[in-house]
Amino acid sequence: MIAPGWAIEGVGLTRRFGGFAALDGVSIAVPPGEIRGLIGPNGAGKSTLMDVLSGRAQSWSGTVRLGGVDISRLTAVERRRAGLARSFQRTNIFPDLGIGEQIRLAAATAERDNSEEVMAELGLAALADRRAADVSYGDQRRLDLALALVGRPRVLLLDEPAAGLSMSESLTLAGILRDLAGRWGVTVLLVEHDMDVIFSICSRVTVLHLGKILADGTPDEIRRVPEVVTAYLGSTVE
């Protein structure tokens, strides 16, 4: 179904590894300005969905649209230029390069160079001359987010941006993200295991399980779905 008005849309997305479908006919649509949570147990297919949407997957079927435009055949770099940015589950930073240097390098390939603005927003300006390897893990995660935000993308796919952070650091990062997304009008699809982070900043949540959409709704609706509790908490508790 073509639905103009979605910022990012995946229709009937399938990705197989051998006979195993990591994504099995997944359709997802996020309206402009929304921060959508994407949750599910380990191996549910969350990162695979990010790969397919961002153009990092080799073989897959279905359709990906950005702002109503079919971008299925575009490469990852072309999708980035079209306004679709992502961060990775493991940070994508260069340990030996300076923080400011990396942000400016990322900006060189973006439509507009807003590297100073991004550094200021993420509190990295004072660290601009430090090597990424020499700053704290929390600062490295903020650098990762900064690299994705360079050029003010229209849509941001974030794969566990708060992984490894403490609860208070995670909520701080979530607050920065919500504030920036609101002011810049960025649409966000956020993969996150921490339900406190998800429920604190997402207006809707999509639940993926075994390569399929299990549920989709507001945080309150999602909290009340028994299968969600079983499927999701089953992998994170004990």
Ligand X SMILES: Nc1ncnc2c1ncn2[C@@H]1O[C@H](COP(=O)(O)OP(=O)(O)OP(=O)(O)O)[C@@H](O)[C@H]1O
Which of 101, 95, 145 is closest to 123 using CA atoms? 145
What tokens were used for 170?
């995670």
Q: Tokens 């969600």, residue?
A: 228
Which of 214, 225, 159, 66 is closest to 206 using CA atoms? 214
For ligand X, the binding residue among 36, 46, 79, 154 (CB under 6 A) is 46
CB of 42 to ligand X, least distance (A): 4
Q: Which does 122 bind (CB under 5 to 8 A by kind): ligand X, Mg ion, none?
A: none
HSE of 223, CA atoms in CB hemisphere, 13 A: 10
Interface residues with Mg ion (CB under 5 A)? 46-47, 89
Phi/psi for 56 (5° steps) reads -95, -10
Q: Which does 172 bind (CB under 5 to 8 A by kind): Mg ion, ligand X, none?
A: none
Q: Is 138 in the site for ligand X (CB under 6 A)?
A: no
Q: Is 58 in the site for ligand X (CB under 6 A)?
A: no
Q: Which residues lie below 8 Å from residue 104, measured CB to CB, with a gap of 6+? A: 113, 115
Q: Is 19 in the site for ligand X (CB under 6 A)?
A: no
Q: Is 40 in the site for ligand X (CB under 6 A)?
A: yes
Note whether 181 and 166 are within 8 A (CB). no
Q: Which does 161 bind (CB under 5 to 8 A by kind): Mg ion, ligand X, none?
A: none
Of 103 and 190, nearer to Mg ion (C-beta) is 190
From the list 25-33, 40-48, 78-86, 214-222, the region that binds ligand X by CB under 6 A is 40-48
HSE of 186, CA atoms in CB hemisphere, 13 A: 25
Q: Is 207 in the site for ligand X (CB under 6 A)?
A: no
For ligand X, the binding residue among 19, 42, 73, 168 (CB under 6 A) is 42
Q: In the chain, where do the E strands start and end? A: 8-17, 20-30, 35-39, 61-66, 69-70, 84-87, 155-159, 187-191, 204-209, 212-217
- Angle at alpha carbon of residue 138, lines to 97 and 93, rounded to 5°: 30
Q: Tokens 């961002």, residue?
A: 54
Q: How far apart are alpha carbons 15 and 19 in whole angstroms?
A: 10
From the list 45-53, 99-107, 110-118, 144-152, the region that binds ligand X by CB under 6 A is 45-53
From the list 26-34, 37-45, 120-128, 196-204, the region that binds ligand X by CB under 6 A is 37-45
From the list 5-13, 42-50, 175-183, 220-228, the region that binds ligand X by CB under 6 A is 42-50
Q: How far apart are alpha carbons 166 and 66 in whole angstroms?
A: 33
Q: Is 213 in the site for ligand X (CB under 6 A)?
A: no
Of 47 and 72, nearer to Mg ion (C-beta) is 47
CB of 2 to ligand X, least distance (A): 26
Binding site for ligand X (CB under 6 A): 17, 22, 40, 42-48, 89
